[in-house]
Amino acid sequence: MPTGEFRPGEQHPERWREDLNPDADAGQNRGAAGPHPEQGARTARDFKDIHDRLREMDDDVLRGIPVLPEGSRLEQGAVYVDLRDPAAGELKARGDMVAGPGQALVPKSAVDHYTWNWLIGVRNPERLGVGPEHK
């Protein structure tokens, strides 16, 4: 019996693998070694429409909000918000999902919880870190 990591599609003869399993790695999370498109991505500050909508936020905060590039595969089970459609609320990704055209997806894991709360529409001062106990 072979040892090592199972790779989807390898159970098929090599000449048919691509036909039988064209996107074999879809939905596979490879851990920290895998690609993280939010690292080095453009930020909310770089998009005029988003910058205008979030004008109450300081430019330094906007520079800290990464926006996934179109076509980036979303991490299965991770939570995102689309800055161009904030009314849609939080999105929990499936393994076959990618950032689509016109979307401006921000991973929850890439921002602090105060910024996340603001992005999803929370305006309670205590949850935004501006209440009396935060001074």
Contact 100, 70 (CB under 8 A): yes
Is 88 inside a domain boundary? yes
Is 98 inside a domain boundary? yes
Is 51 inside a domain boundary? yes
Is 2 inside a domain boundary? no
User: pLDDT of 25-83, one tens digit each?
Assistant: 666 655 444 555 556 689 999 999 999 999 999 999 999 999 999 999 999 999 999 99
Place of tokens 């999370």: 29
| Structural domain for 111, as ranges | 14-134
> How many structural domains does the chain have?
1
> Phi and psi (nearest 5°) for 12?
-90, 150
pLDDT value of position 106: 96
